[in-house]
């Protein structure tokens, strides 16, 4: 009778161990799936981050160019205003020729040609900035 009891106890023990092993195998499978999902989300998030970084770089370059452009326009306005008398007419319109006419014309021509010569930023492709 004792031998039969021991056999039954060993059988139950093997059964518990097998169930525990099956449970652990299922848990490993589930954790691998969760890990794969997390890795996919990290990859997508990294791609979005790189895309936003590339767009931010383009925007920073555009801000720098537009700031330079604005400064040039402000310089033009300041130069024009400094060459006018209180009535709003330049010395050249009076025929006095202050000597600044050539400088003003040259500055205006160069600045205006700069305006027409500016090109749009070609860094619109996100792939350009992928590392």
Write the Ramachandran bin of 99: left for phi over 0, alpha for psi from -120 to 50, otherwise beta. Answer: left
Contact 92, 32 (CB under 8 A): no
| pLDDT at residue 131 tops 50 | no
Q: How far apart are CA 75 and CA 53, in angstroms?
A: 33
Q: How far apart are CA 131 and CA 53, in angstroms?
A: 11
Q: What are the pLDDT digits (tens) for 41-100? A: 999 999 999 999 999 999 999 999 999 999 999 999 999 998 886 665 555 555 545 554
């Amino acid at each position: 009778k004792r031998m039969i009891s021991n056999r039954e106890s060993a059988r139950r023990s093997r059964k518990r161990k097998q169930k525990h092993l099956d449970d652990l195998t299922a848990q490993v499978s589930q954790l691998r799936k969760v890990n794969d999902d997390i890795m996919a989300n990290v990859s997508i998030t990294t791609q979005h981050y790189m895309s936003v970084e590339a767009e931010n770089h383009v925007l920073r370059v555009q801000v720098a160019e537009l700031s330079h452009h604005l400064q040039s326009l402000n310089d033009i306005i300041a130069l024009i205003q400094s060459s006018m008398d209180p009535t709003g007419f330049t010395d050249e319109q009076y025929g006095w020729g202050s000597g600044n006419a050539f400088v003003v014309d040259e500055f205006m021509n160069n600045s205006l040609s700069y305006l027409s010569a500016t090109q749009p930023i070609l860094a619109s492709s996100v792939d350009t900035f992928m590392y």
